[in-house]
Amino acid sequence: MLIVKDCKSIWKNCLQLIVEVVGEQSYKTWFEPIVPLALNGDVLTIQVPSHFFYEWLEEHYIGILRIAIDKELGTHGRLEYVIDQDKIDFNSKNSTNFNTVSKGNIPLSSGNKASAASENSIRSPFELKTIDRGNGFDSNLNPNYLFDNFVEGDCNRLARSAGIAITKNPGTSSFNPLMLYSAVGLGKTHLVQSIGNAIKDKHKDKVVLYVSSEKFTSQFIESSYNNRIQDFANFYMQVDVLIIDDVQFLAGKEKTQEVFFTIFNHLHQNKKQVIMTSDCPPKDLKGMQERLISRFKWGLTADLQQPDLETRKAIIHRKLQHEKIQISESVIEYLAYSVDTNVRELEGVIVSLIGQSVLNQKEIDLELAKQTLQNIVKNIESEVNIDYIQKFVSEFFHVSIELLKDKTRKREIVVARQVAMYFAKEYTNMSLKSIGSNFGNRDHSTVIHAITAVNDMMDTDRKFNATMQELIKKFKMKAV
């Protein structure tokens, strides 16, 4: 009886063989995306995502493909590639969209393993140079970004310690890739560069490369104009540690994402370290291919948050120490309280303050600090609202905003909650009812009770009164 073979089952059989030879990772990268399209006699047609992909298969996996086809279709079997028309083709300028690989073209070598794309495969390097390992390779790192001057706080502890762990065993820890995300100015670039610098310091033989996503994109575009995409990819595939900053800029850039995907997979499967930053968590990255996003989540994703008060003070101290400038603790406190948006802004304020002091030959005191701040920071919480009050109180009492709104009756949380309600009544025009609704839907009588309780405690408890006076002073200093 004649068994009718269809392209899907033939391809499935081929894949069973291929996966054993090339290994899981390479299989996922290079074979899973292939779609079997047709079987005409001895010719199996498969669809690949891009021309680049086709070339890669040809270069690295032709041996195993030949063996698989031989096994399934006999020695007359042929493989034809169709390049997915929907996807943009890197080399569209000079490539055909239909390629045939006849048996005669396929060398009957044994299957290449995942290591096929090793250093040996570098033919003509990108930017006219092969990476000269350990020999003056420019990592594009700023030597001033170090762990030593990166102040640790709750806001960055996880990211920082993951970074330190990576420096011990780049590539082989489970933090691969490491993906750091945060709003601007919270230390992503500083931290990833510190990791790069520390790896270079500890592992002299490792090739570390830092690149911004914009630069990566423009290099890619340039290489595609010059028909050197393969060289571009090969260049990046040689590094041991790739740090790519602000990947959100790859959004919407299909071709660049495609080559990045290829590079990423190659590095990852060869146990090379990939470190990335982004301005939002991977799942919120818009215009980014789903398959890239899912790879970003393979390792560790950590965010950097706004530094709390203590960390801000420590950052100011560090900065002043670096500039060899001394200012009074009260000015430091004032700055730390006032500028809580991000570290870059905090640094900007300090620099302006130093500038003002030199310019006017005035010592840096509270008055100068206030003046400077008024001039450069617009709208520092000038509008006192309930969110602001809750944040302020929560920071002071080290009680989270969630707990302020929660049902819990723990003594210290109740006190913080009552104080926040007191501030809301004193410093906003909100009604008792709406204050209550902002604290976990409590009713207005709870708010009255809170205000009375705070007033009573201020009258009767000296320590509490002192705390409140300090709090009110700070609140006014910052808010008004």
Stretch that binds Mg ion, among 8-16, 183-191, 233-241, 289-297 (CB under 5 A): 183-191
End-to-end CA distance of the chain: 91
Q: Which amino acid is at 417?
A: R
Query: If you count them, how many residues does the chain have?
Result: 480
Backbone angle region of 272, left / alpha / beta, with phi > 0 → left and psi within -120 to 50 → alpha? beta
Q: Tell me whether residue 39 or residue 186 sits nearer to ligand ADP (CB atom).
A: 186
Stretch that binds Mg ion, among 119-127, 128-136, 186-194, 462-470 (CB under 5 A): 186-194
Minimum CB–partner distance for residue 149 and ligand ADP (Å) = 6
Q: Tell me whether residue 49 or residue 163 sits nearer to Mg ion (CB atom).
A: 163
Q: Tell me whether residue 349 or residue 435 sits nearer to ligand ADP (CB atom).
A: 349
**109 secondary structure, DSSP code:** P
Cα–Cα distance for residue pair 366/369, rounded to 1 Å: 5
Could you say whether residue 193 binds Mg ion (CB under 5 A)? no
What is the token pair recorded at 110? 């044994």
Minimum CB–partner distance for residue 151 and Mg ion (Å) = 17
315's contact among ligand ADP, Mg ion, none, with CB below 5 to 8 A by partner kind, is ligand ADP
Taking a C-beta distance cutoff of 8 angstroms, is the pair 179, 195 a contact?
no
Q: Where are the beta strands (DSSP E) in 279-405?
A: 300-303
Taking a C-beta distance cutoff of 8 angstroms, is the pair 81, 97 a contact?
no
190's contact among Mg ion, ligand ADP, none, with CB below 5 to 8 A by partner kind, is ligand ADP
What is the token pair recorded at 334? 């004032």
Minimum CB–partner distance for residue 162 and ligand ADP (Å) = 15
Identify which of 402, 404, 400, 399 has the alpha carbon closest to the alpha carbon of residue 421.
404
Minimum CB–partner distance for residue 124 and Mg ion (Å) = 32
CA-to-CA dists, residue 412 to 171, 391, 425, angstroms: 45, 16, 20
150's contact among Mg ion, ligand ADP, none, with CB below 5 to 8 A by partner kind, is ligand ADP
Q: Tell me whether residue 132 or residue 152 sits nearer to ligand ADP (CB atom).
A: 152
CA-CA-CA-CA torsion sign (99, 101, 105, 110):
positive
Q: Tell me whether residue 77 or residue 307 sits nearer to ligand ADP (CB atom).
A: 307
Stretch that binds Mg ion, among 79-87, 181-189, 341-349, 369-377 (CB under 5 A): 181-189
- Which stretches within 377-410 are classed as H helix? 386-397, 401-405
Minimum CB–partner distance for residue 235 and ligand ADP (Å) = 25
Could you say whether residue 189 binds Mg ion (CB under 5 A)? yes
Minimum CB–partner distance for residue 369 and ligand ADP (Å) = 19
- Closest residue to Mg ion using C-beta atoms: 189
Minimum CB–partner distance for residue 195 and ligand ADP (Å) = 12
How big is the site for Mg ion, counted in residues (CB under 5 A)? 2
Q: Tell me whether residue 184 or residue 325 sits nearer to ligand ADP (CB atom).
A: 184
Cα–Cα distance for residue pair 404/126, rounded to 1 Å: 57
Q: Tell me whether residue 189 or residue 248 sits nearer to ligand ADP (CB atom).
A: 189
By CB under 6 A, name the binding residues for ligand ADP.
149-151, 156, 182, 184-190, 315, 318, 343-344, 347
Tell me which residue has tokens 């499935």: 12
Cα–Cα distance for residue pair 319/142, rounded to 1 Å: 17
Scanning residues 9 to 48, which ones bind Mg ion (CB under 5 A)? Answer: none
Cα–Cα distance for residue pair 233/260, rounded to 1 Å: 8
Q: Tell me whether residue 263 or residue 316 sits nearer to ligand ADP (CB atom).
A: 316
Minimum CB–partner distance for residue 340 and ligand ADP (Å) = 13
Q: Tell me whether residue 50 or residue 277 sits nearer to Mg ion (CB atom).
A: 277
Identify which of 405, 186, 408 has the alpha carbon closest to the alpha carbon of residue 302.
186
Query: In sequence order, which residues have a C-beta less than 8 Å from that of residue 76 and are 6 or more positions away?
Result: 42, 103
Taking a C-beta distance cutoff of 8 angstroms, is the pair 270, 236 a contact?
no
Identify which of 432, 472, 476 has the alpha carbon closest to the alpha carbon of residue 451.
432
Q: Tell me whether residue 87 or residue 344 sits nearer to Mg ion (CB atom).
A: 344
Minimum CB–partner distance for residue 168 and ligand ADP (Å) = 21
Minimum CB–partner distance for residue 181 and Mg ion (Å) = 11
Binding interface with Mg ion (CB under 5 A) = 188-189
